[in-house]
Amino acid sequence: MRQALSLPELAAMKPAGTKIVMVTAYDHPSAQVVEEAGVDVVLVGDSAAMTVLGHDSTVPVGMDEMLMLAAAVRRGLRTPLLVGDMPFGSYERSDEQAVENALRFIKEAGCDAVKLERGGSSVDRAKAIVRAGIPVMGHVGLTPQTATQLGGYKAQGKTAERAAQIADEALALQEAGCFAIVFEAVPAAFTEALMGRMEIPVIGIGAGHDTDGQVLVFHDLLGIFGGHAAKFVKRYANVRQEMVSGVAEYAAEVRSGAFPGPEHIYAIEPSELSEFRAYLGEQRHSEETGTFSHSDWDWGP
Ligand code: KIV
């Protein structure tokens, strides 16, 4: 049986050249699926805002929603590291706010670590959370919580100036004590150039081959999410189509009467049935004559 992955074991995967597999999950069944599939790290991503809550960005999701999802994932997970994604507005205001909400992920949802986005003030927040004893994963490049500031959902680091900015953020987060970092939507050559300076595991999503691992959104990789897929998404299944077919077949069988079939129906002993029918008959009679009460009936053992 696989043992639960510890942070030192995750760190050791980098020098060993063992690729780290990370995926998102948002509920109990998806947690059971990723557990069984044998991934290393599970992120309860704020992408839940889009994939499961129907928002058009990650911005609206809040702490209480994230905690409910993370707790459900925890109940389905045994071996991978579980990372809770700090939603927009849950850590920006102050170190105190960041530590308080990071602690909620650990204490209320059973997460092993938290993730936050960007450099700048997030570097201070990461330091404060690490000081509080909570492992932190950084996230640079395309940071969806601040996509508006970045000019939309597009690749980052395509100019030398922006590439230098992202590199500085990544190095500052590493210095702040992050145990790993996500690079999202950056040129593969940017990653290749920076990897020599990265001592912590780098998990890529649209960041090329040279990262220490990859992360994809569960609904994207399985083809559950119906919306637009980013360039970096590879679909490994078309589960949405399977789901639509299943529900459509169910609807057709309900309408035709083919469902439920004999195997889905409960039986009753004939003698019990006749007694029951007699009861209904007596009840109808007494309702007509006004003489029957429920306490007259012998309900048996
Ligand atoms: O919220 C999320 O799913 C993420 C991953 C894409 C890294 O942040």
What distances in angstroms separate CA 121 from CA 65, 128, 134, 138, 242, one per listed residue?
24, 11, 18, 12, 44
Which residues are CB-contacts of 49 (< 8 A; sequence separation ≥ 6)?
A: 55, 57, 58, 59, 60, 61, 87
- Does residue 226 or residue 162 have the better pLDDT? 162
Q: Is the pLDDT score of 41 beyond 70?
A: yes
- Could you identify the atom of ligand 1 that is nearest to the CA of residue 45? 1
First to last CA, the chain: 48
Determine the pLDDT at residue 299: 47
Average pLDDT, the chain: 95
In this structure, the dihedral spanned by the alpha carbons of residues 143, 144, 149 and 155, taken in order and rounded to 10 degrees, is 70
Angle at 177 between CA 172 and CA 183, to 5 degrees: 55
Q: 214 CB less than 6 Å from ligand 1? A: no
pLDDT class of 1 with cuts at 50, 70, 90: confident
Q: 220 CB less than 6 Å from ligand 1? A: no
Q: Is the pLDDT score of 226 beyond 50?
A: yes
Q: 45 CB less than 6 Å from ligand 1? A: yes
- Does residue 298 or residue 240 have the better pLDDT? 240
Span 160-166, average pLDDT: 98
Q: Is the pLDDT score of 62 beyond 70?
A: yes
Determine the pLDDT at residue 109: 98
Span 71-94, average pLDDT: 98
Span 208-237, average pLDDT: 94
Site to substitute for ligand 1 among 140, 215, 220, most atoms within 8 A of C-beta:
215
Determine the pLDDT at residue 294: 52
Site to substitute for ligand 1 among 34, 52, 57, 85, most atoms within 8 A of C-beta:
85
Determine the pLDDT at residue 293: 52
- Could you identify the atom of ligand 1 that is nearest to the CA of residue 203? 7
What residue type is 216 in one-letter code?
L
Determine the pLDDT at residue 301: 45
Determine the pLDDT at residue 113: 98
- How far is it, in rounded angstroms, from Cα 283 to Cα 191? 79
Convert the pLDDT of each residue in 267-291 to its tens digit.
999 999 999 999 999 887 777 887 6
Give percent above pLDDT 70 in the chain. Answer: 96
Determine the pLDDT at residue 291: 63
Determine the pLDDT at residue 265: 97
Which residues are CB-contacts of 165 (< 8 A; sequence separation ≥ 6)?
A: 119
What distances in angstroms separate CA 38 from CA 47, 78, 118, 163, 218, one per listed residue?
22, 10, 29, 34, 14
Span 226-237, average pLDDT: 90
**What distance in angstroms lies between residue 193's CA and the mean position of ligand 1's atoms?**
23
Q: What number of other Cβ atoms are within 10 A of residue 284's Cβ? A: 11
